């Protein structure tokens, strides 16, 4: 299997995650960070069939007060229209593949929203991982709904490959507060790099695997912690974005040195 891009820190594969993971041998993967297409965004199947750039757009402003870019400028993505039963089956399959190739001391972090939180905790366990808890991402801003609680949280299901190894003497909170990316975002569900860096700061040693790489935020965060990273992405346009991002960071590191 030939990578789409590779340097000393990053390896990127273009293709469908299940196919690419099946081709990989067990390796030095210490943490899996996954932000799969949630197949959420509504109560009915017709809602889930909507374009992700519309479903997950939210409010018209970013957390920093800046206006969000036009929908046409924010990239959408595919694979986000599964019903809940098929979402569970599909998630259990790719999670079992990540468990197969990860180290015995590895941990997994899977992003989800409130609708898919129960099925995601089931899928993590069905994939072989031991469920350890749920982290809460407080975005600080969310779509206002009159007379209802504001929806400004997302969740990260946390698990381990097996028994937890002895850890450092640190006691991190499960509440992570980071504003989402502003007008510079290129992916509609792009996560802030600071959020990924906080997760990786307490993750066990080893390479970082992101099976739904998107624009490459996890890869950039891994490089910030001097960790090697592997990304898989089905949309080639985002592979190109991630390559440009990683190549620029290599240039920046060289200039700083």
pLDDT in tens, 98-145: 999 999 999 999 999 999 999 999 999 999 999 999 999 999 887 777
Lowest mean pLDDT among 68-72, 137-141, 224-228: 68-72
- Model confidence at 84, pLDDT cuts 50, 70, 90, reads confident
- HEC profile of the chain: CCCCEECCCEEEEECCHHHHHHCCCCCCEEEEEECCCCCCCCCCHHHHCCCHHHHCCCCCECCCCCECCCHHHCECCCCCCCCHHHHHHHHHHHHHHHHHHCCCCCEEEEEECCCCHHHHHHHHHHCCCEEEEEEEEEEEEEECCCCCCCEEEEEEEEEECCCCCCCCCCCCCCEEECCCCCCCCCECCCCCHHHHHHHHHCCCCCEEEECCCCCCHHHHHHHHCCCCEEEEECCHHHHHHHHHHHHHHHHHHHHHC
pLDDT at 252: 52
Lowest mean pLDDT among 21-35, 53-67, 96-110, 180-194: 53-67
Two tokens, residue 65: 């007060």
Edge-first strand order for the sheet with 130-143 is: 5-6, 10-14, 229-233, 207-210, 29-34, 107-112, 151-160, 130-143, 175-177
Which residue carries 């067990």 as its tokens? 26
pLDDT at 251: 45
Q: Which residues contact 201 (CB under 8 A, 6 or more apart)?
A: 172, 225
**Annotated domain spans of the chain:** 5-256
pLDDT at 73: 41
Instruction: Say which residue, 141 or 78, is predicted with more confidence.
Output: 141
Q: Please give the span between the terminal C-alpha atoms of the chain, in angstroms, as a whole number.
A: 33
Pairing mode, strands 130-143 and 151-160: antiparallel
Output the pTM of the full model. 0.83
Q: Which residues contact 251 (CB under 8 A, 6 or more apart)?
A: none
Instruction: Say which residue, 191 or 256, is predicted with more confidence.
Output: 191
Q: Which residues contact 53 (CB under 8 A, 6 or more apart)?
A: 71, 74, 75, 76, 188
Percent of the chain whose pLDDT exceeds 90: 60
Mean pLDDT computed over every residue of the chain: 84
Looking at residues 40-67, what average pLDDT do you find? 53
Residue 32 has pLDDT above 80, yes or no: yes
- Model confidence at 190, pLDDT cuts 50, 70, 90, reads confident
- Model confidence at 194, pLDDT cuts 50, 70, 90, reads very high
What's domain 5-256's architecture? 3-Layer(aba) Sandwich (3.40)
> Are 174 and 182 contacting, i.e. CB atoms less than 8 angstroms apart?
no
pLDDT at 206: 95
């Amino acid at each position: 299997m030939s990578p789409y891009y590779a340097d000393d820190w990053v390896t990127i594969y273009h293709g469908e995650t299940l196919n690419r993971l099946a081709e990989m041998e067990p390796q030095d993967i210490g943490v899996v960070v996954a932000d799969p297409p949630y197949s959420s965004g509504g109560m009915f199947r017709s809602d889930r069939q909507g374009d992700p750039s519309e479903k997950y757009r939210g409010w018209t402003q970013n957390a920093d007060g800046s206006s969000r870019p036009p929908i046409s400028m924010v990239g959408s993505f595919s694979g986000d229209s599964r019903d809940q039963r098929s979402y569970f089956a599909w998630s259990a399959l790719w999670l079992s593949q990540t468990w197969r190739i990860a180290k015995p001391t590895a941990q997994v972090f899977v992003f989800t929203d409130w609708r898919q939180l129960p099925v995601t905790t089931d899928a993590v366990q069905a994939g072989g991982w031991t469920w350890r808890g749920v982290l809460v991402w407080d975005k600080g801003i969310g779509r206002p709904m009159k007379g209802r609680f504001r929806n400004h949280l997302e969740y990260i299901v946390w698990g381990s490959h097996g028994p937890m190894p002895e850890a450092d003497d640190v006691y991190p909170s499960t509440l992570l507060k980071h504003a989402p990316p502003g007008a510079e975002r290129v992916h509609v569900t792009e996560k802030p790099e600071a959020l990924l860096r906080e997760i990786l700061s307490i993750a066990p040693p080893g390479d970082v695997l992101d099976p739904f790489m998107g624009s490459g935020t996890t890869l950039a965060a891994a490089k910030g912690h001097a960790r090697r990273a592997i990304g898989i992405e089905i949309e080639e346009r985002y592979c190109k974005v991630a390559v440009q991002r990683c190549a620029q960071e290599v240039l920046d590191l060289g200039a700083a040195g």
